[in-house]
Copies of this chain bind each other. A is one copy, B any other.
């Protein structure tokens, strides 16, 4: 490894002077500039960021903690983050929690030790006290919130639920809501939107139409099989994510239910699959990439400006009409 010292010796100047030209903080005589640049090139020198980090307390890395990178929702978000911060010279450390709070705690500690400049946190929801740990360091929450203590970027889930339901209401007032676990914030908000749309249309909200199922393809599949077994007629379904919707569709197709002729369906998320399915799924698109992009911008801003007031960014979902409505 060649160091500043090597460059300095070859150029017959002091390390300070080399450092000055590297950082462009002071003016040096053209001749010495030439000598130094020649030495740098000759030696193939590049600065050691670890040493710089130790001195300056800037590591140019941010940590991203998320539940599961193989879930395309999070993959798109981190892509948005990485794409924007890398333009400012920042690297991102990927931390996959698998929704395990122990692992989450471990990452939090590791990142602290690594002296990251900022953290983008999409938590399991089990660890709430990151405030203590991350003290003064910039943190932005994505798709999550704990009060207004931290900056956050989220999307308006109430609006999403409302848009989906309103679309379905054009064809039927009997709408089944295939809900994920109600304990998850984003889900309960979508339910509020669902309810709001119903009420606005003068349709009574009926708790029996809300079916809580696993947040998966199989969850949706089983829920519909269950309803069909009761010989209950299905006219419209709002699924709280696309995988549930796809599972539900599968159950209907297997049972000869025609989509969209007999049943209309709206999903949530707009994963890649949605557009590729047959019939293509109408769904509520979440601006995943943009969520990441805004989070990246926010964290960069906080790093540059040493904090400031926490900001809450709320993005809007949009209805994407395809073949299931």
A interface residues, Cβ below 8 angstroms from B: 46-51, 53-54, 59, 61, 64, 68-70, 72, 75-76, 78-79, 82-83, 86, 89, 91-96, 98, 103, 109-110, 112-115, 217, 243, 246-247, 249-250, 253, 272-273, 276-278, 289
Instruction: Please give me the residue from chain B that is nearest to A217 by CB atom.
Output: B276
Can you report 5 residue pairs joining A to B where beta carbons are below 8 Å apart? Answer: A64-B94, A83-B96, A86-B96, A92-B94, A273-B273
Determine whether the beta carbon of A109 is less than 8 Å from that of B69.
no
Instruction: Please give me the residue from chain B that is nearest to A289 by CB atom.
Output: B70
CA distance A109 to B114 in the complex (A): 20
CA distance A290 to B114 in the complex (A): 28
The minimal Cβ–Cβ distance linking A189 to chain B, given in whole angstroms, is 25
Which residues of B are found within 8 Å of A54, using beta-carbon distances?
A: 48, 50-51, 54
Determine whether the beta carbon of A75 is less than 8 Å from that of B82.
no
Determine whether the beta carbon of B92 is less than 8 Å from that of A93.
yes
Determine whether the beta carbon of A91 is less than 8 Å from that of B95.
yes
CA distance A315 to B236 in the complex (A): 45
Which residues of B are found within 8 Å of A50, using beta-carbon distances?
A: 50, 53-54, 59, 114-115
The minimal Cβ–Cβ distance linking A151 to chain B, given in whole angstroms, is 22
Determine whether the beta carbon of A113 is less than 8 Å from that of B79.
no
CA distance A64 to B50 in the complex (A): 18
Which residues of B are found within 8 Å of A53, using beta-carbon distances?
A: 50
The minimal Cβ–Cβ distance linking A274 to chain B, given in whole angstroms, is 10
Determine whether the beta carbon of B61 is less than 8 Å from that of A69.
no
CA distance A53 to B246 in the complex (A): 48
Which residues of B are found within 8 Å of A49, using beta-carbon distances?
A: 110, 113-115
Instruction: Please give me the residue from chain B that is nearest to A46 by CB atom.
Output: B113
3 closest A-B pairs by beta carbon, nearest first, are: A49-B113, A94-B94, A50-B53
